[in-house]
A and B are shown apart, each in its own frame.
Chain A
Amino acid sequence: MKLRSKKKYMWLILALMAVIAIALGFIFPPDGHGPEFWFSNIYIFFALLGFIGCVAMIYIAKWLGRFWLQRKEDYYD
């Protein structure tokens, strides 16, 4: 029970931070000072990059590992 409530608490904080992060993207749109690209005007772009990038990276690496790269520890012995 204790562990579950801990987890709930953690997700709550994460959700709160996510909301803040996205809100910040809208509060501070690109100011035209730095270099800008097509993605600069999508205010939640870096949130998407973070989430999709993270999930994709894990799945791609796991897939590569499973079918190709991962071997037993004594592979070279």
Chain B
Amino acid sequence: MINFPPAVIFFVGAILLLLLPLRIRPAAFLVFPAVAFWWLLSVNAGDSLSMPFLNYTLVITRIDELSLVFGYVFVLVTFLGGIYGYHVKDTTQKVASLLYAGSGLGVVFAGDLFTLVIFWEIMAISSVYLIWARRTQQSRSAGMRYLMVHIFGGSVLIAGVLMHITQTGSIEFNHMDAGIASYLILIAFCINAAVPPLHAWLADAYPEGTVYGSVFLSAFTTKTAVYALARGFAGWEILIWAGVIMAIYGVIYAVLENDTRRLLAYHIISQVGYMVAGVGIGTMVAINGVSAHAFTHILYKGLLFMGAGAVLYATGRSKLSELGGLAKFMPGILILYMVGAFSISGVPLFSGFVSKSMIIYAAGLSGLGLVVLFLNLASVGTFLHTGLKLPYFTWFGKPQSLENTTEISRIPPGMYIGMGLTAILCIVIGVYPSLLYNILPYPVDYNPYTANHIVEAVQILVFTGIGFFLLIDLLKGKNTISLDTDWFYRRPAKLAYKVFVVSVNSFFGWLESIVLKMVQLVLKVGTNPVGYLSDTIGSAGKRVGGVTGKDHADYDPDKQRMPLEFMGLLVLLVFVGLLAWSLFQL
């Protein structure tokens, strides 16, 4: 029996947090995920909570095995993020992250499309504060672009949902059949899942978030989209190839990337690609793999963002070309980061090894050899950047103008504890995969620790390492940015600004000046018409005589007063006109 949706815990928490004294807010923050965890333990698959709304029944909460996996990890990462951000005094970020996590939970437990849309929109709006909270010019504009993209995505979703409801008469959120309504909903989900070419918002915005905020950003938006895809579009073949393209796309861009957190953001796209491909395959093994990979991914990606964030916190730098040689200053962060890096790279005994391989295994079972090949290739790129390039150029390599150690600020203990706990979870899942496998939607008949699989992983990792050290000079960070599909709305923005703002502005400016001139003329004439007329008529002669000193606007009653005859004449003229008109009417 459920009395309230889990999102309420976080939403109430967000309000309570504001009412509590500043000093106990960081600790109070941790209470809400703890309560939500208790809530998750108290419910059973099959429970639901519904209420009537107009002619429909809203299923605000629907519990099943698929939503529970996502629910567990969302609550976990909120707790871990809260510890990592224990030192953060900025309550805006804390409140935004609670609303964001709450609406993320709302989405994965939504049983109908209305509820989904509402939480979907809250998610977009609350998350943007985690970007804006950095309070730089870049974060302001990146946040605005992020918001625009998600508002667009939300509108597409609403359009699709309304169409779906009018066509089917049902608001339930279940597997979708082909049709325009479903395509619209699919596009909206793909925007949030960052499927190219709809992905650019992610690599644009996530690196501009705050140190604390980006940990949350890396977890929720893309993974709720993965959940929504798995719920609505499992087995849609187009998603297999969309996922494969994502997986490769992300790692190719990561080669060129100089900003540590942007590099990690491109790897989110790559990793979510595995999940999207798994959704496309759509078999039970594949959906198990998707859920497992989403679970491990949220933890290790959170850990990686925490690590890169810690470096940014301590040094104020996030560009590889400005970092280097930090190993002796923050060895703890390096070790914890490497746990995340080994997890994402699929090193045996770390979490990625037991989840990523499940999707590849599912592709194999479905006879998709090419998919197996490409997803393994993406693993090469993952290890190359997250496991080798980023840590090498951050902690080893030549220190770049960081000789002055006083520049490095002390990392608060909360950051270490948050990272430490996340790292422990990554290893525990890697060593005891059955802990994770037991909560997956379907029964699991898969063992990642076969000799073959370990050999494959070892071969890939070792030879990627050799390739890296051979070509290490090519991978040095360069002060550049890479064009991506955000070009289409960032570059023409200047042109659009010119066309729709500057030119319209200057046109109205021109019109305004003409109107002003006319008004001036009317004023000039109106204040003293007789003087104006006589001046204009008589000016030729006067100018010759050089007597133009007197302004015609100065009204001289003796000279310029209208004679009475003039008015009489006007009245007479009116009567003559009326007479002519009435004659004409006859």
| A interface residues, Cβ below 8 angstroms from B | 10-11, 14, 17-18, 20-22, 24-25, 28, 30-31, 33-39, 44-51, 53-55, 57-62, 64-65, 68-73, 75-76
Contact = CB atoms under 8 A, between A and B. Distances in A.
A37 B451 CA distance: 17
Contacts of A37: 364, 369, 372-373
Contacts of A24: 454-455, 458-459
B251 A57 contact: yes
A46 B455 contact: yes
B480 A70 contact: yes
A11 to B, nearest CB: 7
Given A20-B462, A73-B480, 16 more contacts: A10-B469, A28-B455, A35-B367, A37-B364, A46-B376, A46-B456, A46-B457, A49-B380, A50-B460, A50-B466, A54-B380, A57-B381, A61-B255, A71-B481, A72-B480, A75-B481
B483 interface: yes
Given A18-B466, A60-B252, A73-B481, A50 B373 contact: no
Contacts of A17: 462, 465
Contacts of A28: 451-452, 455
A6 B537 CA distance: 100
A22 B459 contact: yes
* Interface range, B side: 35 or more
Given A54-B380, A73-B481, A46 B459 contact: yes
Given A64-B252, A73-B481, A76-B491, A51 B466 contact: yes
Interface stretch (B172-180, B301-309, B471-479): B471-479
Contacts of A11: 469
A57 B92 CA distance: 41
Given A35-B364, A57-B384, A71-B480, A21 B463 contact: yes
Contacts of B471: 54-55, 58
24 contacts: A14-B462, A14-B465, A17-B462, A17-B465, A18-B466, A20-B458, A21-B459, A25-B459, A33-B452, A34-B361, A34-B453, A35-B367, A36-B364, A46-B376, A49-B376, A50-B380, A50-B459, A50-B461, A53-B381, A58-B467, A61-B255, A69-B256, A72-B480, A76-B481
B463 A51 contact: yes
Q: Which of B365, B455, B481 has the most CB of A within 10 A?
A: B455
Contact of A55 (B369, B458, B460, B467): B467
Contact of B452 (A18, A34, A73): A34
Interface string B237-276: 0000000000000011101100000000000000000000
A65 B482 contact: yes
Nearest to A75: B481
B451 A31 contact: yes
Nearest to B258: A73
Pairs A-B, 3 closest by C-beta atoms:
A54-B467, A35-B364, A50-B463
Contacts of B404: none
Interface in B118-170: none
A61 B250 CA distance: 11
Contact of B462 (A33, A50, A62, A70): A50
